[in-house]
Amino acid sequence: MKVKFWGVRGSIASPGPATVRYGGNTTCIEIRTDLNELIIIDAGTGIFPLSQSLLSELPVTANVLISHSHWDHIQGLPFFIPNFIPGNTLRLHGAFDPVSGKGVEQVMSVQLQYSYFPVREAEMKAQIEYVTLMPEQSIQLGSATVTPFLMNHPVVDFGYRIEANGKSVFFTGDHEPPLNIYETHEPDYAEYQSFIDEKTASVLHAMSGVDVLIADCSYTTAEYGSKKGWGHGTFDSSINYAKQAGAKLLYCTHHEPTRSDDALEAVFAKVLEDHPRKAGDPEYRLAREGESYEF
């Protein structure tokens, strides 16, 4: 299996000299099974350069898994070049949105409104299909088994576990470890805590023993204090997940858009210092646009 990062930035694309090493594109990850089957996770702006790289292997069937409908995870979709070329298939997978009452087709139709994009879906030349997924119901994409898990974010957000040929990867999407909203002395604390413990156990089960865990590490623990409830994790929370789940390698992603490459490396150096690796601990890396990892 191979994982390649095409977009590692959170919230908004952040190109420029200060982010050129880790990249400014928003979330997009290319997965290849050992049979070279293509799975794409999220369609942030990174899907545009990925789609350019696919022009050498047309026609393609692109199975795209959408974690959630926030812009930074979908905004590259109208610019996926194979959409405009006959013979290609784009198969979009994602959650049902209880707020709008619509399935994953909405992440395309909203963006293709004529006020925002000049080409209508009917004019696109590729075959475009929509598959609305249910939590914890696996689907088969070629040799890969894909299972969506509900994560914790202000909108419905799927983390995805992908398994093929004995290898596995889990992507959290945007995820904030659930927090108890009550103080320990309040009467509802215990009941809420048991709900959180259940949720944590289900997230750890979803990640359990993966070769590669790709996790939302938007903030440092110090920054997190003023950003509770925004739906994002920290380096520390993701390292704890990786350790407890027995992941082999953690890629930290969804880099904060105002963080320069130098600042990101400084923050990460401190994180590594705070989490010295013992035997059996996962390896920790920063996700970087253009980096691929084969396992």
Q: CB 141 → Zn ion: shortest distance, Å?
A: 23
Span near Zn ion by CB under 5 A; candidates 10-18, 122-130, 193-201, 266-274: 10-18
Q: CB 26 → Zn ion: shortest distance, Å?
A: 7
Q: Which of 42, 174, 236, 289 binds Zn ion (CB under 5 A)?
A: 174
Q: CB 215 → Zn ion: shortest distance, Å?
A: 12
Contact between 159 and 151 (Cβ < 8 Å): yes
Contact between 25 and 5 (Cβ < 8 Å): no
**255 binding Zn ion? (CB under 5 A):** no
Residue ranges of E strands in 35-156: 38-41, 61-65, 89-95, 127-133, 139-141, 144-150
Relative to beta strand 167-171, strand 158-164 is: antiparallel
Relative to beta strand 89-95, strand 61-65 is: parallel
Q: Which is nearer to Zn ion, 30 or 157 (CB)?
A: 157
Q: CB 219 → Zn ion: shortest distance, Å?
A: 12
Instruction: Name 159's bridge partners.
Output: 149
Per-residue binding letters, 132-171, with Zn ion (x by CB under 5 A): ----------------------------------------
What angle (nearest 5°) sits at the alpha carbon of residue 158, between those of residues 154 and 161? 150
**Site for Zn ion, residues 38 to 77, rule: CB under 5 A:** 70, 72
Angstrom distance (rounded) from CA 140 to CA 146: 6
Span near Zn ion by CB under 5 A; candidates 9-17, 160-168, 180-188, 236-244: 9-17
Q: Which is nearer to Zn ion, 70 or 93 (CB)?
A: 70
Angstrom distance (rounded) from CA 228 to CA 230: 6
Q: Which is nearer to Zn ion, 70 or 167 (CB)?
A: 70
Q: CB 231 → Zn ion: shortest distance, Å?
A: 6
Q: Within 13 Å, how many C-alpha atoms sit on residue 206's CB side? A: 28
Q: CB 166 → Zn ion: shortest distance, Å?
A: 30
What are the residues binding Zn ion (CB under 5 A)? Answer: 10, 70, 72, 174
